[in-house]
Amino acid sequence: MMSAALFFITHEGIASNLLNIGENILQKPDNNLLFHEIPMDAPVNDMLAQIRNKLSTLDLSEGILFITDAYGSTPGNIAQQIASQYKSPLISGVNLPMVIRLLNYRNEALEPLLDKALDGAYKGIQQH
- The residue segments making up the domain with residue 103 are 5-123
How many other CB atoms are there within 10 angstroms of residue 87's CB atom? 8
Assigned domain for 128 exists: no
DSSP calls for 94-118: --HHHHHHHHHTTTS-HHHHHHHHH
Q: If you average pLDDT over every residue of the chain, what do you get?
A: 95
pLDDT tens digit sequence for 49-88? 999 999 999 999 999 999 999 999 999 999 999 999 999 9
Region 13-42: mean pLDDT is: 93
d(C-alpha 115, C-alpha 89), whole Å: 11
Query: Which CATH number characterizes residue 102's domain?
Result: 3.40.50.510
| Residue 45 in domain | yes
Question: Does the reported pTM lie above 0.85?
Answer: yes
Please tell me the total count of domains within the chain: 1
Residue 41 has pLDDT above 70, yes or no: yes
